[in-house]
Amino acid sequence: MTLPNKVKIVEVGPRDGLQNEKETIPAAVKIELVDRLTDAGFSNIEAASFVSPKWVPQMATSTEVMEKIRRKPGVVYSVLTPNMKGFDAAVAAKADEVVIFGAASEAFSQKNINCSIAESIERFRDVAQSAKQHGIRLRGSISCSFGCPYQGEVSPDSVADVVRRLRELGCDEIDIADTIGVATPNKVKTVFERVKQEFPAERLSGHFHDTYGQALANIYAGMESGIAIYHSSIAGLGGCPYAKGATGNVSTEDVLYMMNGLGIDTGIDLDAVVDAGQFISQHLGRKAASRAGNAIAAKRQG
Ligand code: HMG
Ligand code: MG
């Protein structure tokens, strides 16, 4: 299959990336990061998460972040909302999109959101209906679509089953997530071919963590399956607090470098993204987990 001419990159660093940091990051730093990402040209930034601060303390500043970011018209600022408490906070914070997040594995669902897959869909029902009433975009995310840290194998049919349930809730977009980065390209194609039977390909996205160094190859495989939305994280930040050993999402700089080389339009300025990656890495006091980002920064210094 031919590759898409245009790809939407959803920047998830401010949420998926930073949620895993142990040290509390000041809201001002998070706000500057989101503003830099806005200026770099992203059309969708996952900026915050309205979850229990007992479960994910780093996201406790989400209201302040959403209040103080500089919003560019047309840019979608998304937030995670596991239940109505999260949804109400998202409405108050004027989120453009809410994300309900489930899993294709029962074991991970219990660890991450403290309920079964079936119970999670029931909780999401209220959030989904309220999102529709408020005219807020609704996205569904499916963790462990390619493997689970607790139960191991996950079948494409169980991913398809959750896709179908999220479709019935009215999701505008559905993320097929490799939470622990175990997927390889043929597996990616198998899962996407299966879930495309349940939901339109143009509204499916790939959310790849890079734990085993497969994420770019997996994105390429996803593009060959007709998928044109991918999530990535500035400086390769992140991991999931409920998936031990999982590293960050594929780095945005690496994805953009590949897209630029392939002549695929993303509308995003790689140089500005490299600057944002260096900014947050300096704050965190470590080198960015981005090969392209570090190479471009080193080249600039001559
Ligand atoms: P629970 O303990 O079963 O919920 O947690 P509860 O309803 O019994 O509430 C317990 C306490 O949390 C109460 O406070 C609630 O008010 C409070 P208390 O009375 O004890 O003081 N609470 C909240 N506070 C703020 N915002 C809320 C909220 N809800 C309840 N929305 C719950 C269930 C879902 C809340 C919990 O398990 C949770 O917050 N989980 C979030 C886990 C998480 O954020 N994980 C990381 C994001 S998912 C991810 O990274 C994967 C993804 O990137 C895709 C991939 O890579 O796979 C998306
Ligand atoms: Mg993730």
Residue of the nearest CA to atom 34 in ligand 1? 113
What would the pLDDT profile of 19-60 be if each residue is shown by its tens digit? Answer: 999 999 999 999 999 999 999 999 999 999 999 999 999 999
Q: Which residues contact residue 175 at a Cβ distance below 8 angstroms, ignoring those fewer than 6 apart?
A: 99, 139, 140, 141, 142, 204, 205, 206, 207, 231
Q: Look at domain 8-301 and name its CATH class.
A: alpha beta
Instruction: Identify the pLDDT of residue 132.
Output: 98
Q: Is the CB of 151 under 6 A from ligand 1?
A: no
What would the pLDDT profile of 167-191 be if each residue is shown by its tens digit? Answer: 999 999 999 999 999 999 999 999 9
pLDDT of residue 244 exceeding 90, the answer is: no
Question: Considering only CA atoms, which of 102, 95, 81, 116 is closest in space to residue 47?
Answer: 95
pLDDT of residue 242 exceeding 80, the answer is: no
Partnered with residue 229 across adjacent β-strands are: 8
Q: Using most ligand atoms within 8 A of CB, pick from 51, 111, 173 the residue to mutate for ligand 1.
A: 51
Q: Is the CB of 119 under 6 A from ligand 1?
A: no
What would the pLDDT profile of 76-135 be if each residue is shown by its tens digit? Answer: 999 999 999 999 999 999 999 999 999 999 999 999 999 999 999 999 999 999 999 999
Length of the chain: 302
Q: Is the CB of 18 under 6 A from ligand 1?
A: no
Radius of gyration of the chain from Cα atoms?
A: 18
pTM for this one? 0.97
Torsions phi, psi for 213 (to 5 deg): 70, 20
Mean pLDDT computed over every residue of the chain: 96
Q: Which residues contact residue 271 at a Cβ distance below 8 angstroms, ignoring those fewer than 6 apart?
A: 296
What is the residue type of 120? S
Rounded distance between C-alpha atoms, residue 297 and residue 302, angstroms: 9
**Among all chains, which residue has been given the structure tokens 């143009």?**
202
- Residue 301 Cα to ligand 2 middle (Å): 32
Which ligand has an atom closest to residue 176 CA? 1
- Residue 302 Cα to ligand 2 middle (Å): 35
The answer to whether 67 and 99 have CB atoms below 8 angstroms apart is no
pLDDT of residue 206 exceeding 90, the answer is: yes
Residue of the nearest CA to atom 22 in ligand 1? 52
Is 148 catalytic? The answer is: no
* Lowest pLDDT segment from 210-214, 238-242, 270-274: 238-242
Per-residue burial over 47-66, b if 16 or more Cβ lie within 10 Å, else e, is bbbbbeeeebebbbbbbbbb
Instruction: Identify the pLDDT of residue 216.
Output: 98
At residue 241, the 3 state secondary structure works out as coil
Rounded distance between C-alpha atoms, residue 140 and residue 126, angstroms: 14
Residue of the nearest CA to atom 37 in ligand 1? 113
